[in-house]
């Protein structure tokens, strides 16, 4: 069996939507084609409380972890919901922080080193847009930008504690007082510009880890047409099924 290294994208709906046209995950998958499989394990509406027990089901042991080239952990947009308005999604800040720590520790326990882990902090909330969206759907504004900021800082801190990469979207998107509304389509989820922004911050980190990975299977012109098998598999260590 020919096995490709895997990049696992684990997160909430902002990850689930990452394979939309021009989505951040789709762009990464395209850049890594023939080198890695990019797996979307985004779960709309999930918070870290729900995600924590799932991670060991996605990567159950060191053997499966050996195929992992990189993991992104991208939660916080639901955890940071206002408890009164969104009780099912809200997770207190301390628990969120601990859940992220547990996920990183779990990855390390199956020998996925911190260099392979990137934590992505939630994007800012554009309250006027999100409020309109909430009201249209019959409920009150359920997230506040300042509160999401505290979760983003906690996420960045956990990344720093473990020496993992961090993409602090909340901070980066607001840098220089920029009009971050353009990065969000409903005040919460990434617009096309937001997807492009995230990909532009994440790719340099992943490129450092994955850019040098070899192409799986040779360029067609390098295959001996008369005797394909002699050249096709030269650079591949095959795994027995």
Ligand X SMILES: CCCCCCCCCCCCCCCCOC[C@H](COP(=O)(O)O)OC(C)=O
What is the set of active-site residues?
A: 13, 186, 189
Q: Binders of ligand X: how many residues, by CB under 6 A?
A: 18
- Give the residue ranges of DSSP H helices in the chain: 13-16, 24-31, 48-51, 55-58, 62-65, 93-109, 127-136, 145-162, 169-174, 192-210, 228-232
End-to-end Cα distance, the chain? 6
Nearer to ligand X by C-beta: 13 or 174?
A: 13
- Could you say which of 73, 185, 194, 210 contacts ligand X (CB under 6 A)? 185
Least distance to ligand X, CB of residue 160, Å: 24
| Nearest CA among 54, 47, 40, 42 for reference residue 7 | 40
Which residue, among 182, 235, 240, 239, has the nearest Cα to 35 in the 3D structure? 235
Per-residue binding letters, 10-39, with ligand X (x by CB under 6 A): --xxx-------------------------
CB 122 within 8 A of CB 48: no
Pairing mode of beta strands 165-168, 6-11? unpaired
- State the nearest-atom distance from the C-beta of 191 to ligand X, in Å: 8
209 φ/ψ angles, rounded to the nearest 5 degrees: -85, -35
Q: What distance in Å separates the CA atoms of residue 93 and residue 76, rounded to the nearest whole number?
A: 9
Q: Which stretch binds ligand X (CB under 6 A): 125-133, 195-203, 210-218, 221-229?
A: 125-133
| CA 220 from centre of chain | 32
Among 40, 78, 99, 148, binds ligand X (CB under 6 A): 78
Determine the 3-state secondary structure of 130 from DSSP.
Answer: helix
79 scored as a contact of ligand X (CB under 6 A) = no
Closest distance of CB 212 from ligand X, Å: 33
* C-beta neighbour count of 151 within 10 angstroms: 25
Q: Is 129 in the site for ligand X (CB under 6 A)?
A: yes
Question: Which range touches ligand X (CB under 6 A), out of 9-17, 55-63, 105-113, 228-236?
Answer: 9-17
Among 35, 52, 116, 133, binds ligand X (CB under 6 A): 133
Q: CB 233 → ligand X: shortest distance, Å?
A: 42
Segment interacting with ligand X, rule: CB under 6 A, options 1-9, 106-114, 181-189, 195-203? 181-189
- Smaller CB distance to ligand X: residue 142 or 195? 142
Check binding of 142 to ligand X (CB under 6 A). yes
**What residues make contact with ligand X under the rule CB under 6 A?**
12-14, 44-45, 77-78, 81, 86, 89, 129, 132-133, 136, 142, 185-186, 189
């Amino acid at each position: 069996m020919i096995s490709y290294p895997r990049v696992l994208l684990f997160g909430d709906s902002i990850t689930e939507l990452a394979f939309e046209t021009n989505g951040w995950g789709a762009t990464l998958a395209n850049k890594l084609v023939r080198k890695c499989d990019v797996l979307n394990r985004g779960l709309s509406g999930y918070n870290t409380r729900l995600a924590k027990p799932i991670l060991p089901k996605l990567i159950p042991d060191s053997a499966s972890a050996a195929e992992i080239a990189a993991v992104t952990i991208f939660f916080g947009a639901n955890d940071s919901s206002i408890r009164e308005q969104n009780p099912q999604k809200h997770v207190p800040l301390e628990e969120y922080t601990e859940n992220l720590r547990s996920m990183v520790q779990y990855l390390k326990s199956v020998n996925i080193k911190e260099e392979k882990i990137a934590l992505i902090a939630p994007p800012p909330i554009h309250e006027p847009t999100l409020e309109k969206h909430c009201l249209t759907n019959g409920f009150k504004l359920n997230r506040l930008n300042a509160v999401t900021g505290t979760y983003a800082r906690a996420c960045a801190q956990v990344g720093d504690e473990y020496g993992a990469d961090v993409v602090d979207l909340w901070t980066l998107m607001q840098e220089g007082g920029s009009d971050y509304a353009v990065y969000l389509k409903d005040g919460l989820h990434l617009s096309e510009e937001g997807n492009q922004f995230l990909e532009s911050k994440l790719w340099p980190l992943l490129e450092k880890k994955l850019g040098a990975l070899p192409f799986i299977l040779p360029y067609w012109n390098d295959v001996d047409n008369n005797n394909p098998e002699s050249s096709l598999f030269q650079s591949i260590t095959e795994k027995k099924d």
